[in-house]
Structure 1
């Protein structure tokens, strides 16, 4: 029986090669899209699962009353004393608790080899929590305060094949540390994929004096706390026990509440709204999963439409089979079997397409997905996909074709009737509805990104570069370094700060000002800068002045942004006195809001002060009068003069700012990718139906031409029905797209409105694409010589 199905299927495919190509190619593209989306979803949902203690690890966070925006905000950073209290007062609930902090780039040097890498500072228990695979040495290497633990890739870069254990490295050309352990690099789909080394917490304390002062500062939210729950602890119980840990602590009057975020939710459920976990990247898993199913459905619709449209050509076959004794269920199995065979052929092509496009898809999605050819799960899933596709695509044609009346078919009085025609039209409308929704969604995402990109930043990021001060030589020669950079001709200006121009590292409480309610303890984004920072980044002042060496009192001066002034309610901010850290500061200037954090959010209230002992970043305005490569070469020469062993590593402010759009950019590109395939599959189906329609009406067209019909009138006759179906699909798609995209935009404070022109342009593009697809066959049919089409008459 099965061999019979193969013979019949092959016979039909070989007799109708054009429709065979359309069917198999459409199904293959739909299945390839599903395979790629499935691999992407698997990667997303397996985030961090490679870590051994995945189901017991939590990040300690906290909610606080953000009076600036009248809402509850959620912070991932914590004060140091919270970790100490978790270890002592709540020891029964936790197996391990560890403070850690991103180290930023450091220069690791061994002999003549030097590399610049990112890593972590961590307490010894951090390695117990993360439990990476140890290549050599010990997991507990951080117990030694002068140690370092390296990833395998860094160890190989520095030592080659030699054993790195107990080898001594130089960090930033100022401290020596001993390699006590080498761990396997963390996989790409973990939160620690960029961690290439780990330094002991004691190293951070010795290196940065302000850390010691933070051990009793409950208002300094600058540190991360990871913890591993005790073996038999229940997360909900532990969360309830530690919820009020921060309440009543010194300088904490913002109604804080501890939140324990399990590692299983770090990646996909990272968003909080008003103190509640409201989702995050999980929405894109659902969106793209749904899109994948719809793209596959579009391909199946093509199969249904083309097979029901050609039903009259197979009616006699059905009639004969019934006449010689075939039962209806046998015919159903036959047609479903044919669909399964075609789906199997499509699967082979789909696997090839998916494997071929995976490198490009990885680049688009910024992933490191590999095709798991040896995975039994993969093959079980693709076989299930084939069966699902065959059933979905073949079910309607199978039940429809098997229902033909034997007597009518053999007498030649059989007609297909209105039902299948209506069904085909409904399916075409569904196809283009899905495609139009995807197109509208892609345009709106793109417009939202452009809207945020074109937002006024409050400074000029063009020609601005940032250099992390990884060695003490750069920190000790500020004035000489600045003068040499400007005199070299490579830089217009240079300044230093505690953070790059595109980031804010510190959010502090403890500010007091006249008129502040006694129970209000807001958090302000805080940045320490040198005298020349404002001139270098080109701040826009609305009142007052910049820091100046002409005023010695500027050591206790402050510059506020507009958000800070508005929050404090200062009618005349310049000259106002603000108390911080037991010192009185005078406001000397007010600047326009500078976008240093999320470009989609309202600017946080920010305060800028001078402190040359708390600066770690160099900001340089390169000279626009010479080429960028030449300017960078001059800057490198000057830096090498003061720090000859440090690699010249820099970042452009405009590129760093562009990275803030990476998530939205990926979503936009992936949406466009899937929308393109949805449109292609839909057009493939339209092309097939247009071809069939032209074949069915070839004699009608010949008679019309004999009676004087023009090519244009014949073209209009064959295209108007498809244009009408496209118009109907757009009227259905528009409210659906508006609903979903309106809800998507609500996650952004700074967002676009849904303009009518977006929908109008999409409608025009859809109509043009449909017209172009149908017109090829319509014009071809209209140009046929009526002598040839009527010869049989």
Structure 2
């Protein structure tokens, strides 16, 4: 019997090829979108699960109160590690100090490569459950040990065994390779770590690290822990809360530092903190795209339901005859479900092919490296579950609706669907376009917010600016000679040094005192050391005062503030004012705010100090008269001449600034991608409905043409119903989308508004798409020869 169901179902699909194509195409796209979103969500939810002890690993973080604003930081003081071992050692299986991850020079002989890496204590490899290919996880017990990622080992040593080989690190340290680990995957927090070197190697060669052993105010390190098997993360977090506070003097306690453990399971999806509270993060996008996936699949199911029930009069006689000869209702339901199952089966196979084709583009937009896991049984089980849900969603209503027809009415010819019979279909069309319009509005608002932030004045000229990381002392030592040579080459207009790149702030400080400051308040300033050439290189815009003077020794004890710092301090005439910061400094200038951190947040109060030591970045203004290629061709040899041991790691400031918008742009592109597919599915449904309506009203159209109706009148007749339905959709979607996007924008301090023209554009777009979709069938029907349609009577 089941075989017979599928045979009849296949014949029905073959007989109505256009109807079948629309159903299969719509469901295929809907299921493909659901699969793509499912794979994206799986990748997000599986973040960091590569590490075997995922549920027991945490990072020690702290909150501090600055002028009533609670800030959450990953940076902690060095002596905290000793304190945790001494006072709470039984609660932890591993306590691991770590440096930050940044680029380092790895060299073997004449071969030099630049790779990001970290210095960690010996327990790190076991805590992170590194998959060792050579050597052991105990390799960092060697004070000079270094573990290399497999790809880095391959680059340095080729096919030779790297274990026990000595490499040169940053042209200053000798490190012995004690192991090679499998490259970490893209969906882990430590994905950029290409090597892990011994913490002892780091501490023994950096005096500032040695000196930080008893500095509770020096927050320059990271601390990771793995809890003991019997420990509870919440109770341990509560235990260590005041471990820093009790070691601070009266001045230090003003910030009320409180430590806590942030579980690895929340690092990726719950990374946002506001005023000391973990408010969420990427988990919001997981929910967002999950909902979009459900709705897009629902749109495809709506198409199937609409087209199946729209053909009810054509299937009525079949149902009547089947019931008259003894078919039970459940048998008819089985028949119609078998048709749904066959359509969904074809759609599922097509969806797999579509996902395979779309994945490269999707990965590029989503910045992922997702693969279609065809070899995993879990994927097929999940896929079949989605297919089954689709069968139930798409097939239930048509099956129960069609099987409910009364055979007496059908066979007498008195059966009519009636006007009320089309109401469910109309409701479903309204739902379809409501979802589509919400997606259109959402996409437009996201891109408008990104553009709003992009157009925000940055306070300096980004065009033609590059930064080169200072990797060795030679770059700083020979800076003046390099600058002179590059200026003479004509490739460079100016060049300067600083302790932070232009697109981030590496250092913050408190303890500044000035006239009128509230002594009970602890402040927090961004601090950047710059040389006198910084002003001309970046294009500082002075509001008051002057720049640093390289010829004046007195300027070593002067400061330049940004506008936000002046406002924060409440200084009316800042130039000439004294700031006490360990000693007295004189304010000599005020510059316009520069956006160096998030373009969506207010500019932080910043102090620019005279650079009197090692810099971290060289800033270069390229001569616009030269092409970028020519300029770089002139710059690289000069850097290699004076710092031969360091690769020239340059970055374009414009590109680095653009990365600040990457997440929002990515979300906007994904939303736009899904919006286009949702509209495509909706249009397929409209096309099918319009085609069927035109077919149903063929004779009516013929009579109207004979009586003198014009093509325009007939087009208006057939299009009017769909225009009304889309208008209702707009009435629902516009207030809903406004509410959703208004609330989304509230998460940004620097934000755009939800402009009225967005709704007009979405509404007009939806209406135009509707008319274009419907008009093809309407005009085709209106132009048909009425003799053919009337002759059949």
Taking structure 1 as the reference length, the TM-score comes to 0.98
In structure 2, runs of 5+ residues without a counterpart are: none
Q: 1:377 to 1:765 in 2, by over 3 A?
A: same
SS at match of 2:791: coil
Deviation, structure 1 residue 584: 1.8
Deviations 1:352-405 (A, max 9, x none): 111121121111111111111111111111111111101100111111101111
Deviation at 1:91, TM superposition (A): 1.6
> How far apart are the structure 1 equivalents of 2:524 and 2:82?
22
Instruction: Name the SS of the counterpart of 2:613 in structure 1.
Output: helix
Q: Which residue of 2 aligns with 1:774?
A: 774
| Secondary structure of residue in 1 paired with 2:93 | strand
Query: Which residue number corresponds to residue 146 of structure 1?
Result: 144
Q: Which residue of 1 aligns with 2:305?
A: 304
1:723 aligns with 2:723: yes
Q: How does 1:311-350 map to 2 (within 5 A)?
A: 311-350=312-351
> Once the two structures are superposed, what CA deviation does each residue of 1:464-522 show, in whole Å capped at 9, x if it has no partner?
11111112221211211111121111111111111111110112222222222222222
2:44–2:187 CA contact under 8 A, matched in 1 = yes
When residues 103 and 431 of structure 1 are mapped into structure 2, their CA distance, relative to the original with a 3 A threshold, is closer
**Residues 117 and 192 in structure 2, CA contact (< 8 A), matched pair in contact too:** yes
Size of the aligned set, in residue pairs, is 790
Greater shift in the superposed pair: 266-275 or 470-479: 470-479
Q: Does 1:784 align with 2:784?
A: yes
- Specify the SS of the correspondent of 1:400: helix
Secondary structure at the counterpart of residue 63 of structure 2: strand
Task: Go from structure 1 to structure 2 and tell me whether the alpha carbon gap of 1:197 and 1:671 turns closer, same or farther (over 3 Å shift).
Answer: same
Residue 741 of structure 1 pairs with residue 741 of structure 2 = yes
- Residues 1:103 and 1:311: Cα distance change in structure 2 (over 3 Å): closer
Structure 1 equivalent of residue 754 of structure 2:
754
Say whether the 8 Å CA contact 1:578–1:586 is kept in structure 2: yes
**Partner SS for 1:73:** strand
Residue of structure 2 equivalent to 1:114: 112
Rounded Cα–Cα distance in structure 2 between residues aligned with 1:132 and 1:742: 44
Alpha-carbon separation, structure 1, partners of 2:201 and 2:545 = 41
**Distance (whole Å) between structure 2 residues aligned to residue 220 and residue 742 of structure 1:** 41
Check the 8 A contact 1:219/1:508 in 2, yes or no: no
- Give the Cα separation in 1 of the matches to 2:141 and 2:344: 59
Deviation at 1:747, TM superposition (A): 1.1
Whole-Å Cα distance in 2 between the matches of residues 2 and 578 of structure 1? 87
What does residue 600 of structure 1 align with?
600
> 1:310: Cα distance to partner?
0.5
Could you tell me how far 1:206 is from its partner in structure 2?
4.2
Which deviates the most, 343-352 or 465-474?
A: 465-474
**1:571: how far off?**
1.8
Runs of 5+ consecutive residues of structure 1 not aligned to the other structure: none
Which among 212, 231, 237 is matched to residue 229 of structure 2?
Answer: 231
The SS at the match of 1:199 is strand
Q: Is the 8 A contact 2:96 2:224 kept in 1?
A: yes
1:689-728 to 2 correspondences below 5 Å? 689-728=689-728
Match of 2:64 in 1: 64
CA contact (8 A) 1:219 1:252 kept: no
Separation in structure 2 between the aligned mates of residue 253 and residue 780 of structure 1, nearest angstrom: 78
Distance 1:555 1:649, change over 3 A: same
Return the TM-score normalized by structure 2.
0.98
Larger displacement relative to structure 2 (355-364 or 216-225): 216-225
3-state secondary structure, aligned to 1:193: coil
Q: Where in structure 2 are the equivalents of 1:77-156 lying within 5 Å?
A: 77-156=75-154
Quote the Cα distance in structure 2 between the aligned partners of 1:284 and 1:275.
22
Q: Give the SS at the match of 1:140.
A: helix
- Given candidates 213, 220, 223, the residue that maps to 1:222 is 220
Post-superposition offset of 1:660: 1.0
Instruction: Give distance in 2, aligned partners of 1:84 and 1:720.
Output: 77
Q: Distance in 2 between matches of 1:558 and 1:276?
A: 34
Q: Which residue of 2 aligns with 1:188?
A: 186
- Distance in 2 (alpha carbons) for counterparts of 1:157 and 1:476: 30
**Equivalences for 1:254-265 in 2 at 5 Å?**
254-265=255-266
Query: Which deviates more from structure 2 when the two are superposed, residues 673-682 or residues 4-13?
Result: 4-13
Matches within 5 A, 1:544-623: 544-580=545-581, 582-623=582-623
Asked if the contact 2:78–2:215 (Cα under 8 Å) also holds between the matched residues in 1, the reply is yes
Structure 2: distance between partners of 1:274 and 1:230: 30
- CA deviation profile, 1:724-762 (whole Å, cap 9, x unmatched): 111110110011111111111111110011111111111
> How far did 1:174 drift?
3.0
Q: Are the aligned partners of 1:39 and 1:369 in contact in 2 as well (CA < 8 Å)?
A: yes
Bigger mean CA offset, 90-99 vs 276-285: 90-99
- In structure 1, what is the equivalent of residue 543 of structure 2? 542
CA deviations on 1:122-179 (whole Å, 9 max, x unpaired) are 2223333223111112323223333322111000011011110111112233332221
Summarize deviations over 1:66-115 as a string: whole Å, max 9, x none: 31xx4322112112222232222222222222221224212211123221
Question: How much has 1:611 moved relative to structure 2?
Answer: 2.9
Q: Output the CA distance in 2 between the equivalents of 1:760 and 1:564.
A: 42
- Deviation (angstroms), 1:207: 4.2
1:506 corresponds to which residue?
507
Q: Report the 3-state secondary structure (helix = DSSP H, G, I; strand = E; otherwise coil) of the residue aligned with 1:659.
A: helix
Aligned twin of 2:241: 243
Does the Cα contact within 8 Å between 1:221 and 1:507 map onto a contact in 2?
no
TM-superposed CA distance for 1:704, in Å, is: 1.0
Please state whether the residue corresponding to 1:790 is helix, strand or coil. helix
SS in 2 for 1:272: strand
- Alpha-carbon separation, structure 2, partners of 1:588 and 1:130: 49
Q: Deviations over 1:183-211 (max 9, x none)?
A: 11111100111110122223333444333
Give the structure 1 partner of residue 471 of structure 2: 470
Mapped contact 1:577–1:584 kept (Cα < 8 A): yes
Give the distance between the partners of 1:563 and 1:85, measured in 2 at CA. 37
The 1:617/1:252 distance shift into structure 2, 3 A limit, reads farther
| CA distance, structure 2, for counterparts of residue 593 and residue 348 of structure 1 | 56
Provide the aligned C-alpha RMSD in A: 1.4
CA distance in 1, matches of 2:747, 2:234: 27
Q: CA deviation at 1:526?
A: 1.3
Equivalent residues of 1:252, 1:521 under 8 A apart = no
Following TM superposition, by how much is the alpha carbon of 1:273 offset from its aligned partner in structure 2, in angstroms?
1.9
Q: For 2:119, what is the secondary structure of its paired residue?
A: strand
Say whether the 8 Å CA contact 2:66–2:521 is kept in structure 1: no
For each residue in 1:249-298, what CA deviation from the matched residue of structure 2 results, as whole angstroms up to 9, or x when unmatched?
A: 13241111112100000000111122111111001111101100100000
Shift of 1:592: 1.2
Alignment check: 8 A CA contact 2:305 2:394 kept: yes
Shift of 1:217: 2.6
Shift of 1:213: 3.3
Conservation of the 8 A alpha-carbon contact between 1:80 and 1:214: yes
CA distance in 2, matches of 1:682, 1:566: 53
**1:669 to 1:262, Cα distance in 2 relative to 1, 3 A:** same
Aligned residue in 2 for 1:449: 450
* Mapped contact 1:222–1:507 kept (Cα < 8 A): no
CA contact (8 A) 2:476 2:614 kept: no
1: CA distance between counterparts of 2:529 and 2:767?
57
Deviations 1:189-242 (CA, angstroms, capped at 9, x unpaired): 001111101222233334443333333332222221111112211011101101
Q: Are the structure 2 counterparts of residues 252 and 593 from structure 1 closer, same or farther at C-alpha, using a change threshold of 3 Å?
A: farther
Structure 1 position 43 matched with structure 2 position 36: no
Q: What secondary structure does 2:55 align onto?
A: helix
Q: Distance in 2 between matches of 1:228 and 1:165?
A: 28
Give the 3-state SS of the residue equivalent to 2:739 in structure 1: helix
Distance 1:537 1:429 in 2: 54
Closer, same or farther: CA 413–728 of 1 in aligned 2, 3 Å: same
* 1:22-63 Cα deviation digits (max 9, x unpaired): 001101110011111111111000000010211111111111
Q: Quote the Cα distance in structure 2 between the aligned partners of 1:585 and 1:88.
A: 41
What SS does the aligned partner of 1:90 have? helix
